[in-house]
């Protein structure tokens, strides 16, 4: 069994708690001294950094929400001067504003460390060839995986996303052993292989490290059957660090969390109370080694549960189970966070349609699709076809710009979208995940 950092991955619970306590105390002091938002939150609870004596006191600290990042956009939650921030990434927000994350040199080293553990758990070694088919750019997936692969000492092939025929050609010619991409894209690659007549024996592929979107056990089995590889699940959030927050090992019985860097809790999403071990609830993360954007009790809105039993692989790190759903209305489509409120803000800004819409998400040919049905006004309904086409194009352009992904816009007749007396239903998700 391979480990990247056995000392931490197999550390006793008692020793891990000691490490976490020391690092938590330092992190709380860092944010209190340098981040006005945290200082205010703690003062409102009558707390000082000295009140935190160990990890047992974590439950007393205030939560951090995505809204806190929006309210302090772009750099207001950073705990160090911008002169120490060597890179920024960003994820999508509800109104087109990005959620910005900053990294110091040490943060990038931590990120590379946790990704090296991820790849090692998936069987990658120094002699491996890692094809990174996550998107590069502001999205954390590509570059996060890239530098972790280099830390491991493997040969990194930075293909990024798209250009499927080239991806397959490179996979054959360069001898790719490990593939990192979204699970839906992995299935798409399998389909293209079959269409192009590429034999599995033409590839040296051994395993895939898949994340950035929800996927089911049946989808995992299909990937494993068609690509003849082992498919590993990974979990990450840009705000916490990016990919590398949790990953599966060879036993595929939950995703190991590097607890020497991230402390997880499971809370009741309604009351905020910490739930007993084994309960399902909202998973909350506290970073204890980050400098640029340390987060205290960050509300992920993801529903999961934790398993503290020692894994068959020998690792003692807590394992999180596959995310069972969300407590908010966020959708993850092709690795991009999409909120219905983003669509609403676009439609209201254009002002040429009724304020009624429906997002229809599906998975066709193993890739997520998004159709946005927009109800038109009676006056627009009676207009000429060209006017309707112009409105459709305008909406399409603005939606693409705001969401960062393409969507099919379908204008529908007045009053054809079902009304609700309670909370409006804005999403039909046809994906089987």
> What is the C-alpha to C-alpha distance for residues 228 and 248, in angstroms, rounded to an integer?
18
In the prediction, which pLDDT does 379 show? 83
Give the CATH H-level superfamily of domain 1-328.
ANL, N-terminal domain (3.40.50.12780)
- Give yes or no for a contact between 266 and 96, defined as CB atoms under 8 angstroms apart: no
Q: Where are the domains of the chain?
A: 1-328, 331-429
In the prediction, which pLDDT does 421 show? 43
- Give yes or no for a contact between 161 and 179, defined as CB atoms under 8 angstroms apart: no
Per CATH, 1-328 and 331-429 having the same topology is answered no
Q: Answer yes or no: pTM beyond 0.95.
A: no
Question: What is the mean pLDDT for each group of 10 consecutive residues in the chain (433 residues)?
Answer: 94 98 98 98 98 98 96 97 97 70 98 98 98 93 97 98 94 98 88 92 97 82 94 96 97 98 97 96 98 98 96 98 84 86 82 85 90 89 85 93 91 83 73 74
In the prediction, which pLDDT does 395 show? 94
331-429 under CATH 3.20.20.370, yes or no:
no
| DSSP, res 62 | P
> What is the C-alpha to C-alpha distance for residues 259 and 58, in angstroms, rounded to an integer?
14
In the prediction, which pLDDT does 343 show? 86
Tokens 């830390």, residue located: 151
In the prediction, which pLDDT does 96 show? 57
In the prediction, which pLDDT does 92 show? 62
User: Hey, how many other C-beta atoms are within 10 angstroms of the C-beta on 362?
Assistant: 14
Nearest to 363, CA basis, from 333, 396, 403: 333
């Amino acid at each position: 069994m391979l480990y990247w950092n056995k000392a931490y991955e197999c550390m006793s619970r008692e020793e891990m708690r000691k490490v976490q306590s020391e690092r938590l105390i330092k992190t709380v002091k860092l944010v209190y001294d340098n981040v006005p938002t945290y200082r205010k939150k703690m003062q409102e609870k009558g707390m000082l950094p000295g009140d935190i004596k160990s990890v047992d006191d974590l439950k007393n600290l205030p939560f951090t929400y995505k809204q806190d990042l929006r309210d302090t956009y772009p750099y207001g939650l950073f705990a160090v001067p911008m002169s120490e921030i060597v890179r920024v990434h960003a994820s999508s927000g509800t109104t087109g504003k990005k959620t910005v994350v900053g990294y110091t040199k040490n943060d990038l080293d931590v990120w590379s460390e946790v990704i090296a553990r991820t790849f090692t758990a998936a069987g990658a070694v120094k002699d491996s060839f890692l094809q990174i088919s996550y998107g590069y750019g502001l999205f954390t997936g590509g570059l996060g995986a890239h530098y972790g692969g280099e830390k491991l000492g493997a040969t990194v092939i930075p293909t990024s996303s798209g250009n499927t025929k080239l991806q397959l050609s490179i996979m054959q010619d360069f001898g790719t052993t490990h593939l990192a991409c979204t699970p839906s894209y992995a299935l798409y690659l399998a389909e293209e292989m079959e269409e192009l007549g590429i034999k599995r024996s033409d590839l040296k592929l051994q395993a895939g490290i898949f994340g950035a979107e929800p996927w089911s056990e049946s989808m995992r089995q299909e990937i494993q059957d068609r690509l003849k590889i082992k498919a590993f699940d990974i979990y990450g959030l840009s705000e916490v660090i990016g990919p590398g927050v949790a990953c599966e090992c060879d036993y595929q019985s939950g995703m190991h969390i590097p607890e020497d860097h991230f402390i997880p809790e499971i809370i009741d999403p309604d009351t905020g109370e910490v739930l007993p071990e084994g309960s399902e609830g909202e998973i909350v993360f506290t970073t204890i080694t980050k400098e640029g954007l340390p987060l205290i009790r960050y509300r992920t809105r993801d529903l999961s549960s934790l398993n503290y039993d020692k894994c068959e692989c020998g690792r003692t790190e807590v394992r999180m189970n596959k995310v069972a759903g969300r407590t908010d209305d966020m959708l993850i489509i092709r690795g991009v966070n999409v909120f219905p409120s983003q669509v609403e803000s676009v439609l209201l800004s254009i002002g040429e349609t009724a304020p009624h819409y429906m997002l229809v998400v599906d998975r066709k040919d193993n890739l997520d699709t998004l159709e946005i049905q927009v109800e038109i006004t009676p006056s627009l309904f009676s207009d000429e076809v060209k006017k309707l086409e112009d409105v459709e194009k305008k909406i399409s352009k603005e939606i693409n710009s705001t969401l960062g992904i393409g969507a099919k816009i379908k204008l529908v007749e007045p009053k054809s979208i079902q009304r609700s007396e309670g909370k409006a239903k804005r999403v039909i998700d046809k994906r089987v995940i």
